[in-house]
Amino acid sequence: MEQLKAKATYATKLAIIAFLLHLVWENAQAPLYAGYQSFSRHFPMCLMGAIGDVGITLSVLALVWIFKKDTSWITTDFFMLAIIGFVIAVVIEQHALLTGKWSYALAMPIIPSLKIGLVPAIQMTVLLPLSFYLAKSAKMYK
């Protein structure tokens, strides 16, 4: 029972931290997407994006809990989390661009070999492991 409570506490901290980090990042990078230059125009989309990013973060956590007996590495192997985040970002960006879900403004730096934006690739590469690290370090007060 204690292990389940510890997992729930960690997942809650992870979700809150990931949401806040991604909400800030999504809004900061929004002007790099076509049609999202004004805050009032992009905030609702960024809010939904941040919620989706939390879903991705918790999915990574759940998959680790399902497939790995020893889950201690997830809070220390930030390089592996960065690789997972980068792969997720590439898949999401390529799919969104191919289906016309969004497009980039001229200011978006592009990774030439992948033909995706550098900033969203960095987002998941950095924020996924950072969220796990901060959730491990964060103290929850009642």
Q: What is the pLDDT of residues 32-71, one digit of tens each?
A: 999 877 777 788 889 999 999 999 999 999 988 887 766 5
Q: What's the total number of domains in the chain?
A: 1
Residue 9 belongs to some domain of the structure: yes
Whether pLDDT at 107 is above 90: yes
Burial environment of residue 8 by CB neighbours within 10 A (0 to 12, 13 to 18, 19 or more): exposed
pLDDT tens column, 113-131: 999 999 999 999 999 999 9
Residue 142 belongs to some domain of the structure: no
Residue 35 belongs to some domain of the structure: yes
User: Whole-structure pTM over 0.75, yes or no?
Assistant: yes
Q: Whole domain around residue 133: which residue ranges?
A: 2-137
